[in-house]
């Protein structure tokens, strides 16, 4: 067991979590638009979301935290799971919107 205690500054952790949520919402809107334009339907659309959420989490983990998420969040897994479910709502909104706009006359 590590005897050193990690000290977190709560406003900074909250700001990092908020920033992560904003990034995930933006990425979800863009990927939802892409799924709608591509004409994905059913389970393929949700699989597309899971794949893009995993890829975007990896990019955030690598670029934003420099492979050390434990320095920015209380738990290092927060980079992978924080805001994924909330981003799903943005994804579905833009997915259905763009699908309806692009594929309305098919």
Over residues 76-91, the pLDDT tens digits come to: 899 999 989 999 999 9
Checking if the pLDDT of 2 tops 70, the result is no
What pLDDT sits at residue 3? 58
d(CA 83, CA 57): 10
Q: How confident is the model at residue 54 (pLDDT cuts 50, 70, 90)?
A: very high
Domain ranges of the chain: 10-105
Please compute the mean of the pLDDT values over residues 23-46 and round it to a whole number: 96
Torsion sign across C-alpha atoms 67, 85, 53, 24: negative
Model-level pTM?
0.85
């Amino acid at each position: 067991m590590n005897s050193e205690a990690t000290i977190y500054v709560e406003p900074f952790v909250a700001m990092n979590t908020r920033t992560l949520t904003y990034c995930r919402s933006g990425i979800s809107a863009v990927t939802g638009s892409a799924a709608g334009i591509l004409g994905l339907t059913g389970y393929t659309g949700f699989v597309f979301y899971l794949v893009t959420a995993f890829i975007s989490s990896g990019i955030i983990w690598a670029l934003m935290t420099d492979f050390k998420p434990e320095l920015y969040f209380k738990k290092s897994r927060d980079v992978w799971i924080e805001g994924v479910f909330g981003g799903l709502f943005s994804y579905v909104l833009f997915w259905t919107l763009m699908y309806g706009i692009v594929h309305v006359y098919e």
